[in-house]
Amino acid sequence: MATPIALAIAGSEASGGAGAQTDLKTFHELGVFGCTALTCIVSFDPNNNWGHRFVPVDPQVIADQIEAAASVHSHIDAVKIGMLGTPATIEVVSQALDTYKFPQVVLDPVLICKGQEPGAALDVDNALRAQVLPKASIVTPNLFETQVLSGRGEITSVEQLKDAAKAIYDQGVPVVVAKAGTLLGTGTALDVYYDGEQLEVLEVPAVGSERVSGAGCTLAAAITAQVAKGVAPLQAVRDAKQVVLSSIENRMHGNAPFSYVYQGGASATL
Ligand code: PXL
């Protein structure tokens, strides 16, 4: 069988804990050939509480990168969309999705990033919801993003998370993975999967309580890799949760007040 190919349309995060770097490592660990179109450059600021310095990539350059990847590889099996960050980026990515009609699009709807203009956040929310969400085959919002995209307000229980996942599904996304992680206080990392028929609560043990960078990116990238290989969505999400669990167990520590996922060895847990 030919090696599956996945494209990450995502931001660069220089220190290697999130974004396109995480996506590529996850694809590689899972036996998928990775390529990238960078949407922005994020550099944490050691002199400003590790805030995110954020520089968008010129929209034409984003279009060029997607064109290059899609032209070299005649069949990209799955695309992962991570941080887009500006309405202009969202517009150009939306156009590319129309042009290339990738068979599977996994959207990690990263809404805001520490350090971005708060005033820009609402424009990004609205543009993402209008232009990219309807083109996603699988969406993986965290608790905050689930609240925003579902319009359901604060979510404090598993039942509310299920309702919110259904509300996002009703906006036309075939598969919704609404992630509470550890935030509902269940002692587990809990996500709700909904595809219009199956409604599943997926849980793995929570590992410690320190903040870990890159868990969300790794989950969406691992789902992308698995669906690129032909794994069905629910199993792909189950597999991805194991990959995240392993990546957190093997986390790295640096000088920032959060640790970093490390995907090396995760495929052995599947
Ligand atoms: O985890 C969200 C995220 C996604 N993409 C990039 C990031 C971050 C968080 O820091 O920097 C590029």
Reported as a pLDDT band with limits 50, 70 and 90, residue 111 is confident
pLDDT at position 176 is: 98
Q: Which residues lie closer than 8 Å to 210 by C-beta, 6 or more apart?
A: 258, 259
Distance (angstroms) between ligand 1 centre and the Cα of 16 equals 10
Reported as a pLDDT band with limits 50, 70 and 90, residue 97 is very high
Angle CA(225)–CA(209)–CA(258) in degrees, nearest 5? Answer: 70
pLDDT at position 92 is: 98
Q: How many CB atoms lie within 10 A of CB 153?
A: 10
Distance (angstroms) between ligand 1 centre and the Cα of 174 equals 25
Q: Tokens representing 162?
A: 């299920």
Please say if the pLDDT value at position 178 is more than 70. Answer: yes
- To the nearest 10 degrees (0 to 180), the angle between helices 19-29 and 215-228 is 40
| Backbone Cα Rg of the chain | 17
Reported as a pLDDT band with limits 50, 70 and 90, residue 72 is very high
Give the domains, in start order, of the chain with CATH numbers: 5-260 (3.40.1190.20)
- Ligand 1 pocket member 110 (CB < 6 A): yes
Distance (angstroms) between ligand 1 centre and the Cα of 113 equals 7
Q: How many CA atoms lie within 13 A of 249 on its CB side?
A: 13
- Ligand 1 pocket member 82 (CB < 6 A): yes
Best mutation site among 113, 219, 259, 261 for ligand 1 pocket (most ligand atoms within 8 Å of CB): 113
Distance (angstroms) between ligand 1 centre and the Cα of 183 equals 19
Q: How many CB atoms lie within 10 A of CB 50?
A: 16
Considering the chain, what is the average pLDDT of its residues? 94
pLDDT at position 98 is: 98
pLDDT digit string (tens) for 211-230?
Answer: 888 999 999 999 999 999 99
Best mutation site among 89, 179, 217 for ligand 1 pocket (most ligand atoms within 8 Å of CB): 217
- Ligand 1 pocket member 42 (CB < 6 A): yes
